[in-house]
Amino acid sequence: MSTIITPAQERTSDLYTPTKADKFSFGLWTVGNRGRDPFGDAVRPTLTPVNIVKKLSELGAWGVNLHDNDLVPFEATPAERDRIVREFKQALNDYGMVVPMATTNLFFHPIFKDGAFTAVDPAVRAFALQKTMRAIDLGVELGATTYVFWGGREGVDAEASKDPLVAVKRMREAIDFLCQYVLDNGYNLRFALEPKPNEPRSDTYLPTVGHMLAFIYTLAHPEMVGLNPEVAHENMANLNFTHSVAQALEAGKLFHIDLNDQKGPRYDQDLRFGSENIKNHFFLVKLLEDSGYTGPRHFDAHAYRTEDEQGVWDFALGCMRTYNMFKEKARRFNADPEIQALLAEINGGDQTYGGLLGSGYSTETATRLKEALFDLDALARRGYHYEKLDQLSIEIILGTR
Ligand code: GLT
Ligand code: MN
Ligand code: MN
């Protein structure tokens, strides 16, 4: 998509059709979501993993991610496991799909009702480690190079039930243990931690990107551990997702990303990517593309409960097309001479002091800064032209430029 697209072409072209080069991926649990919610049962039949791989590939997706139990049922025997994995690998091969990321289901089985790595019961914590080591083996066998940890039920309903200091230590102990397991086995695998502020517990530990980022630097192997931020989860905490992603990127910690949408701070909605917060998503995609992020563009979302199977594929294609439409809008923004001239003017400012900034501290710089005379009235009078800039952004987003 490097050529200029006119509005007329845009209406008729399929330039937004996803291709494998776009690196779009979906979890088996996303398109496989059967519409079950706390108030109602499943509304769609089960899609087999092999069918999902086939259909996603036909739509232009590149990868498929999974929890251990999305593929291998909890109660499967070793022989059943081997057969399922063999057939799945065959499908990956047949349809040219990869498994970039894998994870563990540590939240569905009743064993995990009080959490996994932070559960009060040591047997539950030990079982969680066992299950995760086996799931890591499975992920590596399928080719995954990123392993996600979503805290699921790592939290509390009754505040008195757990010491929050102990909970953080337990989380660290588990991640440190599993990093060492990966190193011991010589696996090429990095961990990506996924924060969420609440749901299904009243409060989840390490609830936002910022909390997780700080936690990572307390680990034994911080270089192996990064983040998997999710649009909906940061929005549940009413935070600016693009800024959270930027902080992760700047720290070299954006190992993976969960793209979806969310209507404000309420229950986790996992809506089709870009279906609600159009302006925010434009700036998110612009950030990912401008920053040179090369990781998967993973959609962790699901179709509305009203949909049948066709609606699921409409949903999946929609996520990918919308990403590509934002990508094209970002390209237009960057190529727009008026916008770029305005940005240059905005960022120009008074260059008198430019040389004193950005090269760190020295005694001489400190002395010059302390002695500098500023035209405070001029600084106070300055208009920043952000109204104009924002309107130009809106015109790009709404397609009039
Ligand atoms: C679950 C959760 C997601 C996580 C998945 C990985 S599972 O659907 O809501 O946000 O990314 O465990
Ligand atoms: Mn997610
Ligand atoms: Mn979610």
Domain ranges within the chain, ordered by starting residue = 17-332, 337-397
The predicted structure's pLDDT at residue 137: 98
- Which residues sit with their C-beta closer than 6 Å to ligand 1? 29, 67, 103, 148, 150, 194, 230, 258, 268, 300
Residue 226: strand, helix, or coil: strand
**b (16+ CB within 10 A) / e for 137-170:** ebbbebebbbbbbbbbbbbbeeeeebeeeebbeb
**CB neighbour list of residue 76: distance below 8 Å, 6 or more residues apart:** 84
Phi, psi of 67 (to 5 degrees): -85, 155
| Average pLDDT of the segment spanning 136-145 | 98
Rounded mean pLDDT of 79-89? 98
Give 240-267 pLDDT, tens digit per residue: 999 999 999 999 999 999 999 999 999 9
Lowest mean pLDDT among 130-134, 278-282, 317-321, 357-361: 357-361
- Of ligand 1's listed atoms, the one at least distance from the Cα of 30 is 8
In this model, does residue 162 exceed pLDDT 70? yes
3-state helix, strand and coil shares in percent for the chain, rounded to the nearest 5: 50, 10, 40
CA triple 230-26-90, angle to 5 deg: 145
- Confidence at 21, pLDDT banded by 50, 70, 90: very high
> What is the pLDDT, as a whole number, of residue 348?
86
Tell me, what's the pLDDT at 4? 60
| Cα 154 to chain centroid, rounded | 19
pTM: 0.95
Q: What is the pLDDT of residues 40-62, one digit of tens each?
A: 999 999 999 999 999 999 999 99
Tell me the C-alpha distance between 329 and 344, whole Å. Answer: 20
Per annotation, catalytic residue among 14, 22, 37, 67: 67
The average confidence (pLDDT) of the chain is 96
Atom 4, ligand 1: which residue's CA is nearest?
Answer: 150
Tell me which H or E stretch contains 156: strand 155-156
Instruction: Measure 248 CA to ligand 3 centroid, in angstroms.
Output: 18
Predicted confidence band of residue 77 (pLDDT cuts 50, 70, 90): very high
Q: Are 4 and 329 in contact (CB under 8 A)?
A: no
Contact criterion met (CB below 8 Å) for 257 and 302: no
How many whole angstroms from 1 Cα to the centroid of ligand 3? 30
Averaged pLDDT, 85-100: 98
CATH of domain 17-332: 3.20.20.150
Average pLDDT score over residue span 98-116: 98
User: For this structure, is 67 an active site residue?
Assistant: yes
* pLDDT for the residue 313: 98
Instruction: Spot the catalytic one: 22, 41, 68, 70.
Output: 70
- What pLDDT, on the 0 to 100 scale, is given for residue 349? 73
Mean pLDDT of 90-111: 98
pLDDT at position 13 over 70 = no
What's the confidence (pLDDT) of residue 1? 44
Q: What is the pLDDT of residue 230?
A: 99
Residue 70 a catalytic site member: yes
Give CA separation, 359 vs 21, 362, 366, in Å.
39, 9, 12
Q: Residue 292: what are its φ and ψ, rounded to 5°?
A: 80, 25
* Per-residue pLDDT, 223: 98
pLDDT surpasses 90 at 354: no
Dist. CA 229–CA 168, nearest whole Å: 19
Given ligand 1 and candidates 105, 146, 194, which is best to mutate, with the most ligand atoms within 8 Å of its CB?
194
The environment of the single-atom ion ligand 2, i.e. residues with CB closer than 5 A, is 230, 258, 300
Is residue 9 very low, low, confident or very high in pLDDT (cuts 50, 70, 90)? low
Contact 178, 136 (CB under 8 A): yes
Q: Over the stretch 169-196, which tens digit does the pLDDT of each residue have?
A: 999 999 999 999 999 999 999 999 999 9
